Amino acid sequence: MPRTIPCLWFNGDAEEAARFSVSVFPGARIGAIARYPEDSPFPPDFPAGTALTVEFELDGQPYVALNGGPELSFTEAISFQIMCRDQEEIDHHWGALAGDGGEEGPCGWLRDRYGVSWQVIPADLPRWAADPSASAGVMRALAPMGKLDLAALRAAAGEA
């Protein structure tokens, strides 16, 4: 059966972005790197040796970073959810991804310094959202938050 692998389009900094992502996730790794050759027939005109594609893996999920040029950029319409077990994981991922040029957003969303959107959320959030007795309280608690406060969300879900 085929496996779906996200391919992320960058404008020259695919290798740097992949290495950054790998630095944030324990056990992550860089795989094969294909490089633009001399006199590449493909636009844009990246220097020979610039990464064309970088294979990398986060939490067992393969990704490909592609240096494709300036034509496309990221939007929040696509984001990657990081399902965190505890506040320490939320704090780690939020700080690492939003820091050093990243941009904090509402409700656990952020963009890293490369423009990739992430949702740093508790692993229990989908369950709370689907539970009619917890959903409204959790959503009211979550709405004003940037980085999520797990204790406050648990209390809003009636689990404190």
Q: How far apart are CA 89 and CA 5, in angstroms?
A: 24
Q: How far apart are CA 41 and CA 97, in angstroms?
A: 35
DSSP H or E stretch at residue 118: strand 117-122
DSSP H or E stretch at residue 31: strand 29-35
- 84 and 29, same structural domain? no
- 85 and 63, same structural domain? no
**Concatenated DSSP letters for 61-79?**
EEEEEEE--TT----TTSE
pLDDT in tens, 99-154: 999 999 999 999 999 999 999 999 999 999 999 999 999 999 999 999 999 999 99
Rg, Å, the chain Cα set: 18
Confidence of residue 45 (pLDDT cuts 50, 70, 90): confident
- 151 and 92, same structural domain? yes
- Residue 74: alpha-carbon gap to chain centroid: 11
Average pLDDT for residues 27-56, to the nearest whole number? Answer: 92
- 104 and 146, same structural domain? yes
Average pLDDT for residues 43-49, to the nearest whole number? Answer: 85
Tell me, what's the pLDDT at 60?
94
DSSP H or E stretch at residue 34: strand 29-35
Q: Residue 37 domain-assigned?
A: yes
Domain endpoint, select from 18, 39, 67:
67
**What domain count does the chain have?**
2
Q: What is the pTM of this model?
A: 0.93
Confidence of residue 39 (pLDDT cuts 50, 70, 90): confident
Q: Residue 109 domain-assigned?
A: yes
- 83 and 152, same structural domain? yes
Q: Residue 42 domain-assigned?
A: yes
- 90 and 149, same structural domain? yes
Tell me, what's the pLDDT at 93?
98
Q: In sequence order, which residues have a C-beta less than 8 Å from that of residue 17 and are 6 or more positions away?
A: 8, 10, 65, 112, 114, 116
CATH of the domain at 57: 3.30.720.100
Q: Residue 115 domain-assigned?
A: yes
pLDDT in tens, 69-105: 999 999 999 999 999 999 999 999 999 999 999 999 9
Output b/e per residue, 11-45; b: 16+ Cβ within 10 A. Answer: bbbbbebbebbbebbeebeeeeeebbeeeeeeeee
Closest C-alpha among 125, 49, 44 to residue 84: 125
Given a cut of 80, is residue 1 above it in pLDDT?
no
Tell me, what's the pLDDT at 76?
93
Q: Residue 92 domain-assigned?
A: yes
- 84 and 47, same structural domain? no
- 54 and 105, same structural domain? no
Local structure of residue 95 (DSSP, 8 states): H
Confidence of residue 41 (pLDDT cuts 50, 70, 90): confident
Which structural domain, as residue segments, surrounds residue 141? 79-156
Q: Residue 129 domain-assigned?
A: yes
CATH of the domain at 139: 3.10.180.10
Confidence of residue 12 (pLDDT cuts 50, 70, 90): very high
- 84 and 37, same structural domain? no
